[in-house]
């Protein structure tokens, strides 16, 4: 035995860098692909912009400027002019500053809609996955009902029921994600429940609570994180869609890309750039999150390991 | 003239961003008509890659194949894809480990056989169907007339393997390559399949290459046995010679380490220490040296050559002496 | 349907077994049971493992595990059962190794899990060291698990990929309050690793950084961490390379001698079972067909199925292979959801007789010293009064 022990010792110590967990490994693999890096750069720039935009915006995005107002008529919205890079919006505000600050509000809506969706979905999916039996049946039938309604229709119904505010948009969009996350986590947890290492923990006499929180949940969370990243993209688009349909925020003054896009819909013939820039911004950001999410999904897939 | 002559075959896998990996290195052996040759080794020994290289089934990109594979005077490695496909269907048959994934799940087993018969033996659909039923009967599928219209999932693992053998035999190949054909099966089913294979070989004069990790399977079936380790052949001998007087420390160690049905309870096993991950590169010395009880300095510094030694081929600096047991250094 | 897939059906239901046995006997933490004086604690046995033949550690009586087959989407109804384990009686003596052998689908894995209450038995009972395990619930059941551990077939999937070796090993100790202090826990971990031949540096590594054999050692160390008396090893070496299997088998034997462990080794490889076991039970379609000492099972198998099984194992010795008389079975294993009437082996048995075989299910009966067999005609076959005949293979559809 001793020969073997020392030989094993050499062998294991010779592993160049030991002690890397699977998560670290996956992360390393993710950022080997150029697509993932592109996604990360887009998302990174977006987040930085969201944080610093209030400080770098050249003008106050929340007040009209007389220079702009002077030339504002129903059939003419001023274009670029000195001090105002993209000219005015329909209310005589600085369009460029509003576009910059819009990043913050858009991120806010996207992040909170996703977080709420993840939280509620995980509670439902987690309960179903951990308990199984009738709890599972009841909760899953519930999510089936939610899934059977087209997602935008669901969001519209919720938005129509609640008073028009930013939180209405957030909650309505969050509800779209709930059944998706619930099913995802529940499926992963059920797979975990019959896995050998959970069986091993049960055989070891580990408490059920510990098994759920230390083994089943952490091993099921990977696909949820990936889905959340992807959902951030669609959440931003869905929020914009709600705003576009006039079901969103009643505060027209708020600088948020979806809202700006929605409010610009009647002015397409007057100044198309009012719709064009927010739309492009939304598309690029959504693309960034999608690229990032897809690369993460790929590297977490055990088939792609190594 | 040998039916199949493999000379100095090497396979190097190259992938962007990783070191080239030599899976098979300087493998040479030949197969005579009607002969059964065994390729034995553990996972990573290169035995399966060897068979895929012979069949031309390795991906064109990423795998660099060297050496030569001559099959009845034709060099297989330089054939075009189409010529190779033709050969594969007609002269070379292959049976894989997992019969379910080797069969098309949405086509009836009858059609999977008649397809081959129509294409390579120019039969009409009607003729092919009769022949297919005969083939299925021959490989021992009960009630072939009915089963011919069933799908792979309706059969058990053993029956699927029989179907696969029937497909491989459809064109009366001169050479059959069986890659771990019984590993996924239970031992009573394995016995059925092995006896079927040996029966077919002796009846039709088909040559067989048996690839397996199970020394027991080889002992009863093969005329010549090649033992592979780390991508190279380390010992080759006629089966009685190999099992009764193994000379390479790896072969010897393997035979000492496996529990045997005919050994009394309580007799200790002598394991080979370490695992394949301990291997050193063949360029440096003998890949088995870190695990070898006979290893001396020369084993760590000089790659051994495959040399003829008393009626066998042996790649070792310090072979096991005849009638000697390896005990020193084992745990 | 194999026993592996059967276990993926819902088995976590907490409904207790149907038997209403004495719950008062549920004191599992006490090890000072009469008759167990010398070998009471898991680690106190000194060398000589097997005590007297009467010193029974585990008694299994009529154990049944039937998995319901459910159909329907909203309203599920049970349309049948998979009889994975269908009435098994056996005893395992303290310090011995009991080998359970059989082909895939015979229910051996479910049997092991049913014994450990990792699947809920639907009938029968398991008595472990005078405690009826089948009636335990909740905390008592959880605590009782300390003394019965398991080693798995696939060493990678049975280790949580997110846990370091240290956390894998500490988990069981913590669950049973054995992690008394930082220093002593650390010392215990090093001792555990050493006993399975791994260095201390392994503690901070993750399962995927080890080779197959090393992972299995970690799995063994995890089981040992809670100082068990019984270890159920389900195919402990079948996922390992041939050259590594012997290392793990030797380790298991060494640990048994040192710690006085009792093993239930479940495997499909007869040679492995024969090598490691004192006694062997052969399973076919959910029940035991034969039980004997390892040497006797090899020398004088009495059940037709055992004979066929033994004759089918390839031996790495050409001389033996050339002379071997094989008993080839025809056809496939019948579905455990629809087992044959009478003797379950009668559809494939080369010694099948016209009476009894297809009507009466044979009991496992004693035919010699510790040799039990479930065959109506065992003695007649042994004496050569009945000879083998051809069997027409029967159609078996795997999905019915």
CA neighbours closer than 13 Å in the CB half-sphere of residue B292: 26
Together in a domain, B163 and B305: no
- The mean of the pLDDT values for chain C is 83
Q: What tokens appear for A278 in the block?
A: 């927010």
Distance CA C39, CA C36 (A): 6
pLDDT tens-digit series, residues C308-350 = 999 998 888 888 888 888 888 887 788 888 899 999 999 999 9
Of B273, B277, B278, the CB nearest to A3: B273
CA dihedral (C178, C179, C181, C186) positive or negative = positive
Q: What pairs with residue C82 in β-bridges?
A: C67
- Residue B152 domain-assigned? yes
pLDDT tens-digit series, residues A184-205 = 999 999 999 888 999 999 999 9
Of B42, B220, B259, the CB nearest to C272: B259
- Residue B322 domain-assigned? no
Distance CA B123, CA C71 (A): 45
A102-105 contacts at long range (C-beta below 8 A, 24 or more positions apart): A102/A255, A102/A256, A102/A257, A102/A260, A102/A278, A102/A281, A103/A46, A103/A49, A103/A50, A103/A53, A103/A257, A103/A281, A104/A50, A104/A51, A104/A53, A104/A54, A105/A166, A105/A254, A105/A255, A105/A256, A105/A257, A105/A259
Together in a domain, B79 and B217: yes
pLDDT, residue A5, reads: 36
As a whole number, mean pLDDT of residues C47-71 equals 77
Q: Test B192 with C316 for CB contact under 8 angstroms.
A: no
Q: Mutation test of the interface with chain B: which of C298, C318, C333, choosing the one with the most B Cβ atoms within 10 A? A: C318
**In this model, does residue C23 exceed pLDDT 70?**
no
> Band of the pLDDT at A9, cuts 50, 70, 90?
very low
As a whole number, mean pLDDT of residues A27-37 equals 80
As a whole number, mean pLDDT of residues C31-54 equals 40
- Residue B331 domain-assigned? no
Distance CA C385, CA C117 (A): 44
**In this model, does residue A13 exceed pLDDT 60?**
no
Together in a domain, B35 and B149: no
- Residue B326 domain-assigned? no
Give Cα A293 distance to the centre of its chain.
10
Q: Residue C12, class by beta-carbon neighbours within 10 Å (0-12 exposed, 13-18 middle, 19+ buried)?
A: middle
> Band of the pLDDT at C397, cuts 50, 70, 90?
low
Chain B neighbors of C211, CB-CB under 8 A:
275-277
Of B17, B278, B331, the CB nearest to A11: B278
Q: Test A7 with B329 for CB contact under 8 angstroms.
A: no
* Residue whose C-alpha is closest to residue C188's, from C32, C40, C43, C28: C43
Q: How many residues does chain B have?
A: 331
> Band of the pLDDT at C273, cuts 50, 70, 90?
very high
Together in a domain, B6 and B126: no
* Residue whose C-alpha is closest to residue A160's, from A242, A264, A263, A266: A242
> Band of the pLDDT at B189, cuts 50, 70, 90?
confident
Residues A239 and A169: beta-carbon distance below 8 Å? yes
**In this model, does residue A23 exceed pLDDT 80?**
no
pLDDT, residue C394, reads: 67
Distance from CA of B125 to the nearest CA of A (A): 40
User: Helix C212-224 vs helix A196-204: angle between axes, to the nearest 10 degrees?
Assistant: 20
pLDDT, residue B73, reads: 87
Q: What tokens appear for B292 in the block?
A: 């070898």
Give Cα C5 distance to the centre of its chain.
17
Terminal alpha carbon distance of chain C? 8
Together in a domain, B86 and B194: yes
B263: nearest CA partner in chain C: C275
pLDDT tens-digit series, residues C117-143 = 999 999 999 999 989 998 898 889 999
Can you say whether residue C196 is alpha, beta or left, with left for phi > 0 and alpha for psi between -120 and 50 degrees? alpha
CA neighbours closer than 13 Å in the CB half-sphere of residue C264: 29
Distance CA C255, CA C195 (A): 8
Together in a domain, B78 and B179: yes
pLDDT tens-digit series, residues A81-131 = 887 878 888 888 888 999 999 888 888 889 999 999 999 999 999 999 988
CA neighbours closer than 13 Å in the CB half-sphere of residue C151: 31
Can you say whether residue C373 is alpha, beta or left, with left for phi > 0 and alpha for psi between -120 and 50 degrees? beta
Distance CA C252, CA C249 (A): 5
> Band of the pLDDT at B273, cuts 50, 70, 90?
confident
> Band of the pLDDT at C11, cuts 50, 70, 90?
very low
| Pairing mode, strands B232-238 and B312-314 | antiparallel
Together in a domain, B140 and B214: no
As a whole number, mean pLDDT of residues A137-146 equals 90
Q: Residue B73, class by beta-carbon neighbours within 10 Å (0-12 exposed, 13-18 middle, 19+ buried)?
A: exposed
pLDDT tens-digit series, residues A61-89 = 888 888 888 887 777 878 788 878 788 88
Together in a domain, B178 and B87: yes
Distance CA C48, CA C95 (A): 8
**What DSSP string describes C297-320?**
HHH---SHHHHHHHHHS--S-HHH
Residues B211 and B178: beta-carbon distance below 8 Å? yes
Together in a domain, B103 and B178: no
Nearest 5 degrees, angle CA C370-CA C102-CA B183? 145
Count of Cβ atoms closer than 10 Å to residue B325 Cβ: 11
Q: Test B331 with A32 for CB contact under 8 angstroms.
A: no
pLDDT, residue C120, reads: 92
Count of Cβ atoms closer than 10 Å to residue C51 Cβ: 20
> What are the angstrom distances between the C-alpha of A207 and each of C13, C42, C172?
16, 22, 10
**In this model, does residue A8 exceed pLDDT 50?**
no
Q: Test A3 with B277 for CB contact under 8 angstroms.
A: no
pLDDT tens-digit series, residues B102-136 = 888 888 999 999 988 888 888 899 999 999 998 88
- Residue B324 domain-assigned? no
Q: Test B273 with A11 for CB contact under 8 angstroms.
A: no
Nearest 5 degrees, angle CA C182-CA C184-CA C186? 65
As a whole number, mean pLDDT of residues A276-303 equals 84
pLDDT, residue C262, reads: 96
Distance from CA of B158 to the nearest CA of C (A): 8
The count of domains in chain B is 3
pLDDT tens-digit series, residues A155-195 = 888 888 888 788 888 998 999 999 999 999 999 999 998 88
b/e burial code for range C289-314 (CB count within 10 A of at least 16 → b): bbbbbbebbbeebbbbbbbbbbbbbb
DSSP E strands in B242-319: the ranges are 307-309, 312-314
Residues A296 and A226: beta-carbon distance below 8 Å? yes
Superfamily of domain C3-13+35-301: P-loop containing nucleotide triphosphate hydrolases (3.40.50.300)
- The mean of the pLDDT values for chain A is 83
Chain A neighbors of C222, CB-CB under 8 A:
200, 204
**In this model, does residue C13 exceed pLDDT 50?**
no
Q: What tokens appear for A305 in the block?
A: 């390991």
Distance CA A40, CA A250 (A): 33
Q: Test C164 with A19 for CB contact under 8 angstroms.
A: yes
**Choice among B167-181, C47-61, C144-158 with the minimum mean pLDDT:** C47-61
Q: What is the ipTM of this complex?
A: 0.84
Of C213, C244, C270, the CB nearest to B261: C270
Residues 6+ apart with CB under 8 A from B191: C311, C312, C314, C326, C328, C329
C142: nearest CA partner in chain A: A205
Q: What tokens appear for C29 in the block?
A: 């933490």
**In this model, does residue C261 exceed pLDDT 70?**
yes
- Residue B308 domain-assigned? yes
> What are the angstrom distances between the C-alpha of B242 and each of B24, B236, B239, B328?
22, 7, 5, 21
B331: nearest CA partner in chain A: A1
Distance CA A262, CA A282 (A): 13
Q: Mutation test of the interface with chain C: which of A133, A136, A196, A212, choosing the one with the most C Cβ atoms within 10 A? A: A196
Q: Test C241 with B189 for CB contact under 8 angstroms.
A: no
- Only one residue has tokens 């998706």, namely A180
Together in a domain, B9 and B83: yes
Distance CA B236, CA A113 (A): 68
Count of Cβ atoms closer than 10 Å to residue B149 Cβ: 12
Distance CA A250, CA B189 (A): 73
Q: Mutation test of the interface with chain A: which of C160, C169, C225, C233, choosing the one with the most A Cβ atoms within 10 A? A: C160
Q: Test C150 with A141 for CB contact under 8 angstroms.
A: no
> Band of the pLDDT at A280, cuts 50, 70, 90?
very high
Task: Check residue A216 and report its DSSP letter.
Answer: I
> Band of the pLDDT at C73, cuts 50, 70, 90?
low
Distance CA A50, CA A106 (A): 8
What's the CATH number where B200 sits?
3.40.50.300
Chain B neighbors of A32, CB-CB under 8 A:
17
Chain B neighbors of A11, CB-CB under 8 A:
274, 277-278
> Band of the pLDDT at A33, cuts 50, 70, 90?
confident
- The mean of the pLDDT values for chain B is 87
Chain A neighbors of B277, CB-CB under 8 A:
11
Tell me the whole-structure pTM to 2 decimals: 0.81
As a whole number, mean pLDDT of residues C267-275 equals 92
Domain span at residue B299 reads 245-314
Give the DSSP H or E segment for C332.
none
Q: What tokens appear for B281 in the block?
A: 């590169």
Together in a domain, B309 and B263: yes
Together in a domain, B27 and B55: yes
Chain C neighbors of A19, CB-CB under 8 A:
164, 204-206, 209
Distance from CA of B245 to the nearest CA of C (A): 11
């Amino acid at each position: 035995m001793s020969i073997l022990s020392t030989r094993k010792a050499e062998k294991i110590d010779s592993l160049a860098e030991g002690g890397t967990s699977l998560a670290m490994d996956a992360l390393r693999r993710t950022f080997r692909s150029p697509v993932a890096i592109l996604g990360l750069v887009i998302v990174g720039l977006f987040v930085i912009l969201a944080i610093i935009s209030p400080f770098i915006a050249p003008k106050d995005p929340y007040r009209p400027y007389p220079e702009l107002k002077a030339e504002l008529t129903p059939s003419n919205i001023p274009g670029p002019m000195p001090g105002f890079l993209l000219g005015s919006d329909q209310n005589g505000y600085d369009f460029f500053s509003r576009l910059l600050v819009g990043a913050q509000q858009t991120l806010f809506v996207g992040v909170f809609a996703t977080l709420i969706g993840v939280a509620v979905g995980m509670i439902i999916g987690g309960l179903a996955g951990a308990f199984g039996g009738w709890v599972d049946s009841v909760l899953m039938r519930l999510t089936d009902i939610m899934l059977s309604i087209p997602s935008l229709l669901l969001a519209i119904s919720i938005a129509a029921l609640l008073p028009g505010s930013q939180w209405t948009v957030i909650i309505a969009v969050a509800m779209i994600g709930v059944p998706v996350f619930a099913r995802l986590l529940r499926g992963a947890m059920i797979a975990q429940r019959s896995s050998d290492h959970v069986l091993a923990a049960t055989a070891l006499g580990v408490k059920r609570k510990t098994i759920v929180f230390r083994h089943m949940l952490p091993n099921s969370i990977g696909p949820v994180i990936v889905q959340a990243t992807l959902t951030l993209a669609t959440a931003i688009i869905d929020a914009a869609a709600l705003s576009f349909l006039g079901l969103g925020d009643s505060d027209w003054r708020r600088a948020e890309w979806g809202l700006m896009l929605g409010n610009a819909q009647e002015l397409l013939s007057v100044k198309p750039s009012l719709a064009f820039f927010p739309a492009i911004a939304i598309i690029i950001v959504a693309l960034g999150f999608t690229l990032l999410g897809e690369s993460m999904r790929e590297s977490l897939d055990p088939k792609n390991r190594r | 003239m040998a039916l199949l002559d493999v000379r100095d075959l090497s396979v190097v896998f190259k992938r962007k961003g990783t070191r080239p990996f030599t899976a098979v290195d300087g493998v040479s052996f030949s197969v005579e008509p009607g002969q059964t040759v065994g390729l034995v080794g553990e996972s990573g020994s290169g035995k399966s890659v060897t068979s895929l290289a012979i069949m031309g089934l390795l991906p064109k990109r990423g795998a660099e194949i060297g050496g030569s594979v001559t099959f009845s005077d034709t060099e297989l490695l330089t054939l075009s894809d189409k010529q190779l496909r033709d050969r594969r269907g007609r002269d070379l048959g292959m049976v894989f480990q997992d019969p379910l994934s080797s069969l098309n799940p949405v086509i009836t087993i009858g059609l999977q056989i008649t397809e081959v018969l129509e294409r390579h033996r120019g039969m009409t659909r009607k003729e092919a169907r009769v022949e297919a039923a005969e083939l299925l009967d021959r490989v021992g599928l009960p009630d072939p007339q009915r089963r011919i219209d069933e799908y792979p999932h309706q059969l058990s693992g053993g029956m699927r393997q029989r179907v696969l053998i029937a497909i491989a035999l459809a064109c009366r190949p001169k050479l059959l390559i069986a890659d771990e054909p019984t590993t996924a099966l239970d031992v009573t089913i394995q016995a059925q399949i092995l006896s079927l294979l040996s029966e077919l070989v002796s009846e039709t004069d088909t040559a067989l290459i048996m690839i397996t990790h199970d020394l027991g399977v080889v002992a009863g079936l093969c005329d010549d046995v090649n033992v592979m380790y780390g991508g190279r052949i380390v010992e080759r001998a006629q089966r009685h010679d190999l099992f009764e007087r193994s000379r390479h420390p790896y072969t010897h160690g393997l035979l000492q380490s496996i529990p045997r049905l005919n050994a009394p309870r309580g007799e200790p096993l002598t394991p080979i220490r370490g695992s394949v991950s301990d291997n050193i590169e063949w360029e440096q010395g003998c890949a088995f040296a870190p695990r070898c009880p006979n290893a001396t300095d020369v084993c760590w510094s000089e790659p051994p050559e495959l040399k003829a030694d008393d009626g066998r081929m042996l790649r070792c600096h310090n072979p096991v002496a005849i009638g000697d047991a390896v005990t020193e250094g084992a745990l | 349907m194999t026993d592996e897939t059967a276990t993926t059906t819902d088995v976590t239901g907490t409904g207790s077994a149907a038997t209403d046995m004495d719950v008062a006997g549920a004191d599992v933490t006490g090890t000072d049971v009469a008759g167990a004086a010398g070998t009471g604690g898991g680690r106190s046995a000194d060398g000589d493992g097997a005590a007297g033949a009467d010193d029974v550690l585990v008694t299994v009586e009529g154990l049944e595990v039937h998995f319901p087959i459910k159909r329907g989407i909203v309203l599920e109804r049970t349309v049948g059962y998979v009889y994975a384990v269908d009435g098994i009686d056996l005893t395992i003596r303290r310090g011995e190794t009991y080998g359970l052998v059989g082909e895939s689908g015979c229910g051996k894995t479910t049997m092991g899990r049913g014994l450990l209450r990792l699947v809920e038995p639907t009938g029968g009972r398991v008595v472990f060291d005078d405690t009826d395990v089948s009636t335990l619930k909740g905390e008592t059941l959880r605590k009782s698990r300390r003394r019965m551990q398991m080693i798995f077939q696939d060493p990678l999937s049975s280790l949580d990929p997110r846990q370091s070796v240290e956390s894998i090993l500490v988990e069981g100790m913590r669950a049973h309050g054995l992690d008394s202090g930082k220093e002593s826990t650390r010392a215990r971990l090093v001792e555990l690793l050493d006993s399975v031949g791994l260095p201390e540096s392994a503690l901070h590594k993750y399962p995927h950084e080890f080779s197959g054999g090393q992972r299995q050692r970690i799995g063994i160390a995890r089981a040992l961490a809670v100082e068990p008396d019984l270890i159920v090893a389900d195919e402990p070496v079948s996922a390992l390379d041939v050259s590594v299997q012997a290392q793990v088998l030797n380790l298991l034997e060494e640990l048994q001698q040192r710690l006085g462990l009792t093993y239930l080794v479940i495997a499909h490889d007869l040679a492995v079972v024969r090598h490691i076991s004192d006694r062997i039970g052969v399973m076919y379609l959910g029940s035991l067909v034969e039980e004997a000492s390892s040497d006797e099972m090899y020398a004088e198998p009495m059940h037709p199925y055992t004979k066929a099984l033994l004759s089918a194992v390839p031996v790495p010795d050409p001389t033996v292979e050339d002379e071997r008389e094989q008993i080839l079975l025809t056809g496939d294993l019948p579905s455990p959801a629809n087992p044959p009437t009478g003797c379950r082996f009668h559809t494939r048995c080369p010694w099948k007789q016209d009476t009894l075989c297809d009507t009466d299910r044979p009991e496992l009966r004693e035919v010699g010293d510790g040799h039990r067999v479930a065959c109506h005609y065992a003695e007649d076959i042994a004496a050569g009064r009945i000879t083998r005949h051809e069997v027409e293979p029967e159609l078996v559809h795997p999905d019915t």
